[in-house]
Each structure stands twice: as structure tokens, then as C-alpha cells.
Chain A
Amino acid sequence: EVQLVESGGGLVQPGGSLRLSCEASGFTLSDYSLNWVRQAPGKRLEWIAYISGNAKTVFYSESVKGRFTISRDDANNLVYLQMSSLRDEDTAVYYCARDHLDGGNRHFDSWGRGITVTVS
């Protein structure tokens, strides 16, 4: 069974840092690109970061570019989101999601349950 489990969330002060982890199981992590998506209270989901299967390509949303870094450790089945210079507006539930490209159609075929980050 494919599973993604986020960890590392919590309460952090503005300007602080936090590292989220996403542990993958049930599939070969290196075969897939991964994403981080977040949902602030009362807001819609927001995609924030992408990392390719070989880790050579990363993309970020404008809202986190320069502050957040996505990385991966395939040997340990982990994907990370290093967050720095945190702001109040980064308060959200953070999800990792597996990227799937099927015949030119890209979608998220598996998600974690999410982890809460509170900046206050």
C-alpha cells in the first residue's frame, strides 16, 4: 500500500525555521517526483514545491521561493521541506503528494494526511 506520512510540524516563532519530513512506503521513491502542498486556515490548497525523481529539478511557488527548500533522501524514503524566515501567513496544514505523469496528464495520485505548522 502506498503511504506518505508527514512529520516535523509544530509551533514556531516568526522568522524561525522548521524542517518537515515526508516518509514514503509501499513504492520506490526514486521512481517518482514529489510535491508539497499547503492549506492555510480558511484558504484553498496552495502548491508550493516540486522535486523530480532524480532530484535535479525543483520548482517553487513565488510565495515560498528563496525561503523554502525541497530535498529528498531516497535511500531512507524521505522527502524534506526546509522552511526558513517563517511568516504568520505560512501557518497551514502541509501535505506531501506524489506526482504522477500518465500519458501527458499530471496529477497527484497519493497524498499524506498532512501536518500542522503554526507560526506565532
Chain B
Amino acid sequence: EIVMTQSPATLSVSPGERVTLSCRASQSVNRNLAWYQHKPGQSPRLVIYAASARATGIPARFSGSGSGTEFSLTISSLQSEDFALYFCQQYDNWPPRYTFGQGTKLEI
């Protein structure tokens, strides 16, 4: 099984800052990598898929990069609504298989 490792576990940042979250795969996943945002009491929300494609409705301040085993999610200028848990997910197209990172919490 492919293991996804995110770092750091928690990131203390301020509004307006630029932040980069990391996700590492134990073996190559090509560009089969998605990022999600999860706020308490809400449904997880797709942010990035295919490593760098922004999901519908996601602001341009969010960007994803990477391939193979190293990936990153960058938020160029943090807004108050961006403080949340972010987790990465790798996927096998067929058969469908998914594994998740443990998450990075962005806090003020």
C-alpha cells in the first residue's frame, strides 16, 4: 500500500502570509494526487486534483505542484476562511484505490 506523509502536522500562520504544505508518497503516484480542505462540522472540499488542477470554485490563490513522490499545496495569501485541515489523497484509477495523508492543520 502506498503511504502518504504530510508535513508539518500543524502550521501556525497569519492572514496574508504565503504557505506551502507538503505531501510525500512512499512510491511514485505520477500526478494522481488530490488535496482537500476540511473544516469542523463541514464536508471535506476538493481543492486540487491531478496534482495541479484547481477544482471548481477554488480561488486562484490555491495552487498545487509536484509529481512522482513529492507534492505541495501553496496558498499565496492566506484568508481567514482558509484556516482548516488539509489532506492529500493519492488514487489508482483502476481498480479504484485511495490512500490519504494524515493532514496538516493551518491555524492562526
* B96 lies within 8 A of A95 (CB): no
* A35 lies within 8 A of B89 (CB): no
A residues 64-116 with Cβ under 8 Å of B? 95, 97, 99, 101-114
* A107 lies within 8 A of B46 (CB): yes
**Please, how many angstroms separate the alpha-carbon atoms of A94 and B42 in the complex?**
13
A–B Cβ pairs within 8 angstroms, 22 of them: A33-B96, A35-B98, A44-B87, A44-B101, A47-B97, A50-B95, A50-B96, A95-B43, A97-B44, A99-B96, A103-B50, A105-B49, A106-B96, A107-B34, A107-B50, A108-B34, A108-B46, A109-B46, A109-B55, A110-B43, A113-B43, A114-B43
* A44 lies within 8 A of B34 (CB): no
What's the nearest-Cβ distance from chain B to residue A99, in Å?
A: 7
Instruction: Give chain B's interface residues, CB within 8 Å of chain A.
Output: 31-32, 34, 36, 41-46, 49-50, 53, 55, 87, 89, 91, 93, 95-103
The range of chain A's interface size is 20 to 34
Closest to A99 in B: B96
Digitize A1-17: 1 where CB-to-B-CB distance is under 8 Å, 0 elsewhere: 00010000000000000
* B50 lies within 8 A of A105 (CB): yes
**Please, how many angstroms separate the alpha-carbon atoms of A99 and B89 in the complex?**
13
A residues 31-63 with Cβ under 8 Å of B? 33, 35, 37, 44-47, 50, 59
Cβ 8 A contact of A44, one of B44, B50, B95, B103: B103
* B42 lies within 8 A of A107 (CB): no
Q: Hey, which chain A residues are within 8 Å of B34, CB to CB?
A: 107-108
**Please, how many angstroms separate the alpha-carbon atoms of A110 and B36 in the complex?**
10
**Please, how many angstroms separate the alpha-carbon atoms of A107 and B51 in the complex?**
11
**Please, how many angstroms separate the alpha-carbon atoms of A99 and B91 in the complex?**
11
**Please, how many angstroms separate the alpha-carbon atoms of A102 and B101 in the complex?**
22
Closest to B43 in A: A111
